[in-house]
Amino acid sequence: MRKVAIVGVGMTKFGEEWNRGFRDLILEAGIKALEDANLSGKEIDAIYCGTMAPGPLIGQEHAAALLADWMGLNPIPSTRVEAACASGGVALRQGYLAVASGLHDCVVVGGVEKMTDVPGPDVISTLGGAGDEEWELFFGATFPAIYALMAKRYMYEFNATEEQLAAVAVKNHKHGAKNKYAQFQKEIDIKTVLSSKVVAWPLKVFDCSPITDGAAAVVLMPLEKAKKIVEQPIEIVASAQASDTLALHDRESLTELKATKIAAKKAFEQAGLQPKDVDVAEVHDCFTIAEILAIEDIGFFEKGKGGTAAENSLTEIGGQIPINTSGGLKACGHPVGATGIKQAVEITWQLREQANSRQVKGAKIGLTHNVGGSGATCVIHIMKNPAKF
């Protein structure tokens, strides 16, 4: 297996992009990534693209062929990857494996979703398909309800509070306010979160990630070749994926995501690292409770201590372990197929020290954590800047 590096990154602004379509978004992200890598399209061997639901959302299937066509990259192979909200992260893993195995020398990995072209209820129904359609969505359990069940059980088992959930949202909006690509660039306070409309108690509007349009892309190459074309290639030192039951009612626990724990364990073993070695992380905060569970299951905090960590500002920039410096899904936005790639873009910027006012000082090692559904799929990547070692 060859060592693999990110040599270029790019993304669009996330938000409600009324004047741009699916193909416009991924084209912008892809061009930015190639320009960042100082490469041209003729040097690309393959495309992997994460997108969850272009069929029901925009009426377009066969999305991989569309992307190769629209980006002028025919006839190279182009493959769509679908893993619900983890589509981007799993696409990154496929691109990583293709380069690591020696199959390809230069791969573009993208993620895109255009979610605002259909009414909100249709988006919610489409996203509900990321869970167990027969045993959850059919009975009316959309994802706010599913994560609310997790939050209620977590509050019961660990005496957590609504204020601790709200602290996650406040922190992520604080970070997002410093990110020009974020959907929401305004700070909020605890009172704003607690007084917002209840979606599924204890989750309120400001506990939930928004409906978002956007795209992101990265370019991968073998590390030794990457060193010859860019000053700061960012090495992917671990890529791990795990699965769990699709339906929540089949889980052993409502207060942990087993797929996250297993993927994290495998990733740290592969990298020869421990959670304490990570300087900055992007985790899957589709709801505030999701971030709390993630930082515990990855190993940054003990089980039951994630809410306290957020409340005590341990996960802010400048804290013990900065989490979601981009603003996370909560403030940066959640175009589901693009999220896992956006996380890699943010960690690349952090490790290159290109994150401007949200820069984590001295960041050498970063982690991304991308989840599909309520935890049935989890993929984790660990990255480092070799120039800092």
Q: What CATH number did the domain enclosing 73 receive?
A: 3.40.47.10
Q: Which residue has the tokens 């073998």?
A: 222
Residue 171's pLDDT is: 98
Same domain membership, residue 303 and residue 229: no
Same domain membership, residue 102 and residue 199: no
* Phi-psi region at 59: left, alpha or beta (left = phi > 0; alpha = psi -120 to 50): left
- Rounded to whole angstroms, the Cα distance separating 84 from 370 reads 10
Strand partners, 9: 218
pLDDT tens sequence across 49-87:
999 999 999 999 999 999 999 889 999 999 999 999 999
Q: What is the pTM of this model?
A: 0.98
Residue 377's pLDDT is: 98
Lateral strand order in the sheet of 280-282: 78-81, 46-50, 107-113, 214-222, 4-11, 234-243, 377-384, 365-372, 280-282
Same domain membership, residue 180 and residue 45: no
Active site positions, annotated: 85, 334
Residue 13's pLDDT is: 98
Same domain membership, residue 153 and residue 113: no
Total domain count, the chain: 2
pLDDT tens sequence across 281-301:
999 999 999 999 999 999 999
Q: Characterize the bridge pairing of strands 365-372 and 107-113.
A: unpaired
Same domain membership, residue 363 and residue 260: yes
Same domain membership, residue 89 and residue 185: no
Distances (CA, A) of 172 to 18, 26, 208, 355: 25, 25, 12, 15
Examine residue 210 and say whether the peptide bond preceding it is cis (omega within 30 degrees of 0).
no
- Rounded to whole angstroms, the Cα distance separating 183 from 338 reads 13
Last residue of a domain, one of 234, 267, 293: 234
| Phi, psi for 206 (deg, rounded to 5) | -80, 0
CB atoms within 10 A of CB 308: 18
Q: Characterize the bridge pairing of strands 280-282 and 365-372.
A: parallel
Same domain membership, residue 42 and residue 187: no
Residue 1's pLDDT is: 92
Helix locations, the chain, DSSP H: 22-37, 54-58, 63-70, 87-100, 120-128, 143-158, 162-176, 190-195, 223-226, 258-271, 288-297, 306-311, 328-331, 339-352
- Rounded to whole angstroms, the Cα distance separating 168 from 307 reads 8
Which of 14, 42, 18 lies closest to 28 in space, CA to CA?
A: 14
CB atoms within 10 A of CB 208: 23
Which of 219, 351, 235 lies closest to 282 in space, CA to CA?
A: 351
Last residue of a domain, one of 234, 269, 302: 234
Residue 211's pLDDT is: 96
Print the domain residue range for 377: 121-210+237-388
Same domain membership, residue 106 and residue 13: yes
CA atoms within 13 A on the CB side of 360: 29
Same domain membership, residue 334 and residue 255: yes
Residues of the chain with pLDDT under 70: none
- Rounded to whole angstroms, the Cα distance separating 386 from 365 reads 9
Same domain membership, residue 244 and residue 130: yes
Same domain membership, residue 178 and residue 72: no
Element (H, E) at 6: strand 4-11
SS3 of 198, please? strand
Same domain membership, residue 81 and residue 158: no
CB atoms within 10 A of CB 260: 28
Last residue of a domain, one of 187, 219, 234: 234
Residue 265's pLDDT is: 98
